[in-house]
Amino acid sequence: MTITVRLFARPREICGCDSLQLQLPAAASVRQCFAALVAEHPAMAPMQDRLMAAVNEHYADWHRALADGDTVAFIPPVSGGCGSLPSDG
Amino acid sequence: MNRAVVVPSIEVTEAPIAAADLGRQVACPTAGATVTFEGTVRNHHHGKPVDRLEYEAYGPMAEAVIRAIAEEALERWQLEGVAVSHRFGALQIGDVSVAIAVSSAHRGEAFEAVRMIIDELKQRAPIWKKETGPDGTFWIEGPEQIPTER
């Protein structure tokens, strides 16, 4: 099946593109999708622990099974994730 | 009193935004309070100077996440209107990056809802910030500053 991967911010810079397509076995998980991305862009591997996943524009679990045509985004920490720091506006 | 269903007005845009515009959008005869908030680009971050800033957004998802947050506010408080705009692209110091307006019959609900919406938005909306200062350009990932790849 064909999965579209959307990349933003630092992952976009690491991969050098904002979108790419991956061919995955049927019902592959988000985690397997990330592994396939790392196979093409090994520099993404160290980012895995800090990424959230989204499927079709909704946050999703890494175990989620994908369907043909799904769009997966790997989302790095957002800028306001530091709400507890005193200097955060 | 019969209440109209409140539909939040949500926008993620490259165009300039202003809370006063949103305040006019949420104004209505049943509201006794309108609370507006503007987040502006600050010239420092963790003690270091910032010259300019770029926001990158996953536009459709950011709008959906902000809409979900606005709907949560509407479930929690009795509100007359909710409007949220977030900017992306290159911004200068002092530019408005996020604007919120909430109207309600009494002020308490509107104050609390605006606070909740901005706090949740900054935690959940897929919008990233890249800061440029004298030491270079950095992605802001939560509490961390990470040099850009290029």
Give residue-wise pLDDT tens across range B44-66.
988 889 999 999 999 999 999 99
Residues of chain B with pLDDT under 50: none
Contact A83 B141 (CB under 8 A): no
Tokens read off for B107:
């002020």
Q: Amino acid identity, residue B56?
A: E
Chain A residue at shortest CA distance from B127: A78
The per-residue pLDDT for A83 is 39
B121 CA: distance to closest CA in chain A (Å): 8
Residues of chain A with pLDDT under 70: 81-89
The per-residue pLDDT for B81 is 98
A59 CA: distance to closest CA in chain B (Å): 9
Q: Which residues of B73-97 are buried (b: 16+ CB within 10 A; e: fewer)?
A: bbeebebbbbbbbbbbeebeeebbb
User: What residues of chain B lie within 8 A of the CB of A12, using their CB?
Assistant: 56
Chain A residue at shortest CA distance from B126: A78
Of B42, B56, B121, the CB nearest to A8: B56
- Cβ pairs A/B, distance under 8 A: 81
B50 CA: distance to closest CA in chain A (Å): 14
| Dist CA B128 CA B82 (whole Å) | 23
The per-residue pLDDT for B1 is 53
User: What residues of chain B lie within 8 A of the CB of A14, using their CB?
Assistant: 149
B142 touches chain A (CB under 8 A): yes
Closest of A12, A53, A58, A10 to residue A34, by C-alpha: A53
A52 CA: distance to closest CA in chain B (Å): 10
Contact B143 A10 (CB under 8 A): no
| Dist CA B72 CA B64 (whole Å) | 12
Identify the helix (H) or strand (E) that includes residue B109: helix B107-124
Q: What 8-state DSSP symbol labels residue A46? A: G
User: Residue B10 to residues A70, B94, B146: CA-CA distances in angstroms?
Assistant: 25, 22, 30
pTM of the full predicted structure?
A: 0.92
A14 touches chain B (CB under 8 A): yes
Average pLDDT of chain B? 94
| Dist CA A65 CA A82 (whole Å) | 31
Q: Which residues of A11-26 are buried (b: 16+ CB within 10 A; e: fewer)?
A: bbbbbeeeeeebebee
B117: exposed, middle or buried (C-beta count within 10 Å: 0-12, 13-18, 19+)?
buried
The per-residue pLDDT for A81 is 56
The per-residue pLDDT for B4 is 72
Longest dimension (CA), chain B: 58
Say if strands A71-75 and A2-7 run parallel, antiparallel, or are unpaired: parallel
Of A10, A78, A83, the CB nearest to B127: A78
- Chain B contacts in chain A segment 46-65 (CB below 8 A): 50, 54, 57-58
